[in-house]
Amino acid sequence: RSIRRNWIRRLEYDIIVPCKLLDWTTSKNSDYSIDNQLRQANDFAFQTAIFDLFQTLHSWNQRCRLSLHLGLRESRHNRWPKMEPDAAHCPTASVYRSFDRYTGTRNISIPPYRARFVNNMPELYLVHVPCIDTLTVTNRSHDKNQLHQIWTGAIQTIIEHCPTLTELELDLNEWVRPDHLQYIQGRRASLGSLLGSIPSSLRVFRYKGAEDGPWKHTMPALNVIPSGIDSTTINLRNLSNHLRELKLNRTTLPFDFLCPLDGEGQPVIGSLHWPYLKTVEIEDVPPWLPSGKWTSTHTAAHRARIENGKWNDRMHDPERRWGGGSVIDEEQFHRLLISMGYATQRMPCLKRMEFHMDCYCRFYLYLQNNVSASMLQWQSHVEYQPDTRVAKAWKFDLDDVRVQSTPFGRCSVILQRWPPDEPI
């Protein structure tokens, strides 16, 4: 049996739960409780399945390095979604204002279901599994029936019981109505806690998040860190010190998340060092910070024209994301390049770094390291010029910047040696 175990490299484990509970398809009555028997039944089935799996894998030798892919799906005996107690079917639950066509009352949508562990049972009974090398929890497609539906906190508990994990891929790209702000903030806080629990053995981290944005880009962005303390940023920075590969997609972060800066844009780097990091890819960055501050938005004239209308009119008008031009918060983009410059100075193994914001300004930053020289490139549909602080962080002269494409602001500069032998 032990010899056969050595042959197994990948395990796809789909947990079967008794009830299909789709996102944003129901509304609640006044007596509705999120702690109902259907959700409890699903949670119990999820917990039992994880307990059984880990109990089985606990006896495997650590040398049997296993890639585990987790998912959640409903029983085939229940092909149709179940209706929770004191809930009603509402196909328009994801719409801003959904009304019952018979009574005229407004439908109140129900937060999405995500599988969780029951009480503190994992702390008492869930065993550690040292043979799990890679953990993948991803959505199969963009179809709402294919979300893995596992709560971030439950994924954290699973990670805490995989002490030798080296690769982790998470997909939390699950849309949530912006008016469910407490749920969004809770998910953000839970993500921060998850990042802080990842073992230092991890070398590869790939994460796809959700925009956590407003109904439309003509409205105020969301503050997902009401306390002002962003544990997600802090723990991600600490985690990156151990990584070989970091890939983030659709993740709301401050622009100085790798190397923190003070209010004047000066580095507060301390002892930060990234000895293993070879690849950094940050793609589809939303145009706002976790605090709700926009980094790229409409021009002042276009924004004034939008804001003159009533809120409901703005909700129901067609989206005009680029119709009136756009502007960037130049200081925030300075901070991005300054932070990246000082951080990459302390990445001796770095081969490639990318940062991509595909909204309004369509800003793109790229660093390619070669044996003889390195090239730093940036491109923006809105004009951007680095300042002396950026030049100092990357150790180049502003006169050396080469403009390659005027209409779209494509610029580059040659770095003779990067990272430098003696980082600042």
The answer to which of 60-69, 258-267, 289-298, 323-332 has the lowest mean pLDDT is 323-332
pLDDT one-digit tens code per residue, 26-50: 999 989 999 999 999 999 999 999 9
Mean pLDDT across 249-267: 95
**What is this structure's pTM?**
0.92
End-to-end CA distance of the chain: 55
Percent of the chain with pLDDT over 90: 64
What's the 3-state SS for 211-280?
CCCCCCCCCCCCCCCCCCCCHHHHHHHHHHCCCCEEEEECCCCCCCCCCCECCCCCECCCCCCCCCCCEE
Beta strand extents in 53-96 (DSSP E only): 66-74, 87-89
Q: In this predicted structure, what is the pLDDT of residue 218? A: 75
Comparing 91 with 346, which gets the higher pLDDT? 346
The pLDDT value given to residue 321: 45
Distance CA 400, CA 26 (A): 59
Q: What are phi and psi of 184, to 5 degrees?
A: -65, -45
pLDDT classification of 313: cutoffs 50, 70, 90? low
Residues 198-250: pLDDT tens digits?
999 999 999 999 989 998 877 889 999 999 999 999 999 999 999 999 999 99
Query: Using an 8 Å Cβ cutoff, are 369 and 418 in contact?
Result: yes
**What pLDDT score was predicted for residue 157?**
96
Range in 44-48, 79-83, 123-127, 179-183 the model is least confident about:
79-83
